[in-house]
Amino acid sequence: MNPLTYAEENYLKAIYHLSEGGKKGVSTNDISGEMKTKPASVSDMLRKLGDKAVIEYRKYYGVHITEEGKKIALQTIRKHRLWEVFLVEKLKFSWDEVHEVADELEHIKSGILIQRLDEYLGFPKFDPHGDPIPDEYGDVRSRPRIPLNELELHSAGQIVAVKDSSAAFLRYLDKVGAYIGARIKVTDKVEFDGSIEILVDNKKSIFMSKDVAGNILVMQ
């Protein structure tokens, strides 16, 4: 099989995420929305990916990623998240600045470079946004986590990840003082609109809308 192009790797990564790790089929409309492109362009790309045996597509059943496709997608995700760790920890980027840069770096093909990068960083298990980093074999370390808005009143936990990694959302979290690793406790829940109040590190109270809290993942 010829190596995938940057665009093909981006599509494959999107299909992997949309399929929840390969557990379900994905519609072309979902892919079109994720990639922000026209359905006709998606169809052209799916034919190319199908020819390279990294996906299977059957009308009415959606797009399914193959085992080889999963392997490539996970290695691309691994590179992306390792580069994010490097950018934040070593080059002092903020967590809202790294995504686009890592999108470019994830396509570097050198396997030995990524092995050395992983070793240099101390074999991190999670990226700056709390997402697990696949190991060199594609295994992913998961941990139980729930959206903050599902935490019961007076329950405590720790912020471990975010669902929304857009720069605007991350800057908002920086502004209010919510960060990965923070210990939190739900001190109030508003029945009317689902907004909540949390206590961060036993010293700072933050009010959050239901949407914001739903995009923060916590571990109890």
Domain range for 194 is 146-219
**Domain harbouring 21, CATH code:** 1.10.10.10
Q: What is the pLDDT of residue 174?
A: 95
Backbone angles phi, psi at 175, to 5 degrees: -65, -40
* Banded pLDDT at 1 (limits 50, 70, 90): low
pLDDT at residue 82 is higher than 80: yes
pLDDT of 153 reads 95
Q: Which two tokens stand for residue 112?
A: 């030995």
147: closest CA among 132, 128, 165, 162?
Answer: 162
Number of C-beta neighbours around residue 14 at 10 A: 18
Answer yes or no: is 42 within a domain. Answer: yes
The pLDDT of residue 195 is: 96
Q: Determine contact, residues 146/178, Cβ cutoff 8 Å.
A: no
Evaluate if residue 219 carries a pLDDT over 70. Answer: yes
In this model, does residue 2 exceed pLDDT 80? no
The answer to whether 114 touches 123, Cβ cutoff 8 Å, is no
Encode pLDDT of 25-72 as tens digits: 899 999 999 999 998 899 899 999 999 999 998 877 889 999 999 999
Average pLDDT over residues 119-126: 96
3-state DSSP call for residue 6? helix
In terms of phi and psi (left: phi > 0; alpha: psi -120 to 50; beta: otherwise), the region of 169 is alpha
Percent of the chain with pLDDT over 90: 87
pTM of the predicted protein model: 0.87
pLDDT of residue 181: 94
Query: Where do we find the tokens 């019961």?
Result: 152
Cα distance from N-terminal residue to C-terminal residue, the chain: 45
Do the domain assignments include residue 166? yes
Mean pLDDT to the nearest integer, 73-90: 97
Count structural domains, the chain: 2
CATH code for the domain of 175 = 2.30.30.90
Whole-angstrom distance, CA of residue 198 vs CA of residue 204: 8
Of 18, 47, 65, the residue at which a domain comes to its end is 65
Single residue among 33, 49, 65 that ends a domain in this structure: 65
> Region 152-181: what's the mean pLDDT?
94
